[in-house]
């Protein structure tokens, strides 16, 4: 386990396995335990680092919006603390937003990118307004109602209908969210920049993944990124929604191994 000071936040991260470093960034409003179903498939070959993003899990939120710039600096700080010079990085949803910012600021740290169930475009005005509207509601009613409204959107229809155990595990994880964390993270995502112009600059091996039942960042968003990032490859994860690695860890592990195992980095 790691406890790392980064700016005005205290960050928590776990490290398991051995081999080339692989840093996994969870989605909102989850925490590092999002990756638990996938870890048994990865740790025999990779040194896997799973942080709690600021405002999530055991990491504090800091002051003000949790911007993509702050998140990127946090990940750089964790890499320094862990003596990781270069790593492969995977991010889901907000994790993908952060990795696009991280690429702009710290490209020398990046050996490969996996962008899962995410998008490069910023919030639309309507999306931004809807995101910010949740903040006073969470302050008034607490996180539980917000989590209950979000949960069905995060999982694919197949998971919701046929895998109640996965749905329960997801809800347990989401219910660890806090008012301070939701506020900071929603504000930060509402402010995130347009990363579409960044895509053409990405010149490291890149895998784009998306659950074929993802309605929050549908496959069309991933297809656009795949067109813009030269040499990238794209995988659709069957019977999965926005939380594809959590819902279908075996399928995602297979795709990750096919992508990462032939690569070499420190």
Quick: pLDDT tens for 110-134: 999 999 999 999 999 999 999 999 9
Please report the pLDDT score of residue 135 as a whole number.
95
| Domain housing 119 | 2-260
Please report the pLDDT score of residue 64 as a whole number.
96
Q: Is 112 domain-assigned?
A: yes
pLDDT (mean) for 95-103: 98
Distance CA 44, CA 40 (A): 8
Q: How many domains does the chain have?
A: 1
pLDDT (mean) for 180-189: 97
Q: Is 60 domain-assigned?
A: yes
Please report the pLDDT score of residue 266 as a whole number.
74
CA distances from 126 to 68, 132, 138, 220 (A): 20, 10, 19, 19
Q: Is 148 domain-assigned?
A: yes
Question: Given pLDDT bands bounded at 50, 70 and 90, which one contains residue 11?
Answer: very high
Distance CA 106, CA 70 (A): 13
Mean pLDDT, the chain, whole residue set: 97
pLDDT (mean) for 137-143: 94
Q: Is 215 domain-assigned?
A: yes
pLDDT (mean) for 242-249: 98
Output the domain CATH number for residue 51.
3.40.50.1820
Using one digit for the tens of pLDDT, what is the confidence trace for 41-94? 999 999 999 999 999 999 999 999 999 999 999 999 999 999 999 999 999 999
pLDDT (mean) for 186-212: 98
Q: Is 70 domain-assigned?
A: yes
% of residues, the chain, pLDDT over 90: 99
Q: Is 266 domain-assigned?
A: no
Distance CA 186, CA 65 (A): 8
Q: Is 265 domain-assigned?
A: no
């Amino acid at each position: 386990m790691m406890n790392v000071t980064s700016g005005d936040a205290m960050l928590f991260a776990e490290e398991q396995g051995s081999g080339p470093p692989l840093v996994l960034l969870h989605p909102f409003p989850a925490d590092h335990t999002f990756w638990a179903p996938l870890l048994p498939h990865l740790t025999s070959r990779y040194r896997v680092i799973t942080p709690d993003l600021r405002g999530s899990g055991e990491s504090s939120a800091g002051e003000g919006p949790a911007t993509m710039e702050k998140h990127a600096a946090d990940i750089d700080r964790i890499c320094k603390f862990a003596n990781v010079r270069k790593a492969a990085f995977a991010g889901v949803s907000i994790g993908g937003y952060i990795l696009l910012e991280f690429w702009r600021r710290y490209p020398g740290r990046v050996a490969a990118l996996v962008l899962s169930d995410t998008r490069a475009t910023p919030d639309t005005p309507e999306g931004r307004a809807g995101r910010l509207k949740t903040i006073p509601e969470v302050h008034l009613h607490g996180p539980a109602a917000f989590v209950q409204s979000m949960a069905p959107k995060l999982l694919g229809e197949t998971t919701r209908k046929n895998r109640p155990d996965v749905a329960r595990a997801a809800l347990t994880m989401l219910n660890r969210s806090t008012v301070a964390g939701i506020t900071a993270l929603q504000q930060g995502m509402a402010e995130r920049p347009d990363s579409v112009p960044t895509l053409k600059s990405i010149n490291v091996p890149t895998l784009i993944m998306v659950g074929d039942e993802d309605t929050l960042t549908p496959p069309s968003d991933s297809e656009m990124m795949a067109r813009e990032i030269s040499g990238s490859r794209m995988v659709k994860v069957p019977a999965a929604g926005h939380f594809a690695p959590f819902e279908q860890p075996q399928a995602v592990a297979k795709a990750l191994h096919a992508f990462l195992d032939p690569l070499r980095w420190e």
